[in-house]
Amino acid sequence: MASGNYTMDLAKFAASLTSKALPKSLYGSLPILVLDIVTAMLTGMVQPVYKSSTEALTSIHGNGGPQLVAAIDGTETTIFGAMYLNGIAAGAFQIEHVVLNAHPSSSVLPALLVYASTRNTTTTGEDFLTALAAGYEVCARIGLASGASVQDERGFHNPAINGQLAAAAAVGNLLGWDAETIASAMGVAASSSGGLVAFQTTDAKTNQIHPGHGRPLGIEAALMARAGVTGPPDVLENEMGFLHAFSPEPNATALTDQLGDRWDCEATTAKHYPMHSRFQTLVSSIQDYKKKDPWDKEVKGVTAYAGPRLLRESHQIAHPKTLDQAQYSVLFCLAAAVLLDLSSPFIFNNTLVGNEAVQKLSGEVIMEQVYDDERTEGGYVVVSFSDDSTVNITATYSGYTGLYENPD
């Protein structure tokens, strides 16, 4: 399919996608991923940032208009407001599934749910899942092409820059638009891309609102393009476009390489724990080990051997002051996994942040790089005890229980 006109090729893919073209494994997993993100939204809607956002958005949008739409918590507002709130709910607790430098779960699904529910015609489950797959794959492709350096070096938050383009592609598929309209919609959407990761070093709450901000803008961009407000149809590869602006190491060919044959969105990481996706493998392996062979000894130290992604400076927050910082700190999350049972997601709260034992061990965790592959998120962990004994835990990701390929 690739022609060098990457944006248009992605748009052609989104425009022509039908359920019959979806791999059986992906089509079987999509309903589970829908349930996963709805669960994330239910946990997100009780977070303080969601409640504050509800107050702000209803003061702007009111409690609806001629067409009332309910957000996940039942708040009735405008279509735009409901999409915004659902996106915030999806990302507020750091437990939404992610893939390849992208958050399609909080980028595409919350907006698509609201928009599909307001259509005058019936949206079938098959139509919805197909549109969802289109949005997920577009999101994954843009994330892969722009790379982790968008966030780690440039300081742009991935869901705040690529989510609206994916949402525009998804609604284009749902409404049966042609490729030219979808490419234009993605061009309009890209003009609203933005969002900074400065929250990592402050107590700001902007991390949680980024998933909400772009979703309605993606749908708005799609409808604007449909109405004749055109966007650049080559916005991704344009010399002054998306990849040029956001990525120091763009790989434009990844946008369409084996598009339709290889599904990059199948690399989705569904989170076991409400923390950064990069830590899931190490933390899950520690928790699984403790379930099979629990220890009742004083922990003296923790050393993790991993790849470069886990050694990013942005994740080396030894003593986080806020829950958001804690969820971004590989040191703190490893310390919590070693000392505590994390089976309930609600253990991640301000009390955990103030846990003196976890904070102390967090400051003593040692990170060693033993892999060069940027994609490596596994490795192994050595836990040492006061009696000079140790346990060695190999960290591998076995897949998320409940997905099509791992039903048990």
- The model's pLDDT over 175-186, given as tens digits with 9 standing for 90+, comes to 999 999 999 999
User: Residue 125: pLDDT above 80?
Assistant: yes
SS3 263: coil
Do 6-267 and 277-395 share a fold? no
Cβ-proximal residues to 347 (8 Å cutoff; 6+ apart), any chain: 340, 341
Look at the domain 277-395 and name its fold. 60s Ribosomal Protein L30; Chain: A; (3.30.1330)
Report d(CA 86, CA 108) in Å as an integer: 11
pLDDT digits (tens, 9 = 90+) for 50-108: 999 999 988 887 765 667 788 999 998 888 889 999 999 999 999 999 888 889 999 89
Report d(CA 403, CA 69) in Å as an integer: 31
The pLDDT assigned to 202 comes to 86
How far from each other are the two terminal CA atoms of the chain, in whole angstroms?
Answer: 37
The pLDDT assigned to 60 comes to 84
Q: Domain ranges for the chain, please list them.
A: 6-267, 277-395
β-bridge partners, 299: 385
The pLDDT assigned to 115 comes to 87
The pLDDT assigned to 201 comes to 84
The DSSP string of 60-128 is HH-S--SS-EE-TTS-EE-HHHHHHHHHHHHHTTS-S-BBTTB-HHHHTHHHHHHHHHH-SSPPPHHHH
Q: What are the backbone angles phi and psi of residue 398, rounded to the nearest 5°? A: -95, 0
Look at the domain 6-267 and name its fold. 2-methylcitrate dehydratase PrpD (1.10.4100)
- Its pTM stands at 0.89
Containing H/E element for 226?
helix 206-226
Which two structure tokens, joined as six digits, stand for 66? 């001629």
Nearest to 89 by CA among 101, 76, 73: 73
The pLDDT assigned to 19 comes to 97
Q: Average pLDDT over the chain, rounded to whole? A: 91
The pLDDT assigned to 132 comes to 97
Report d(CA 75, CA 150) in Å as an integer: 35
pLDDT digits (tens, 9 = 90+) for 211-270: 887 778 888 999 999 999 999 999 999 999 999 999 999 999 999 999 999 999 998 888
Report d(CA 216, CA 154) in Å as an integer: 25
Nearest to 129 by CA among 95, 170, 82: 170
Which two structure tokens, joined as six digits, stand for 266? 């199948």
In the block, which residue shows the tokens 């922990």?
A: 299
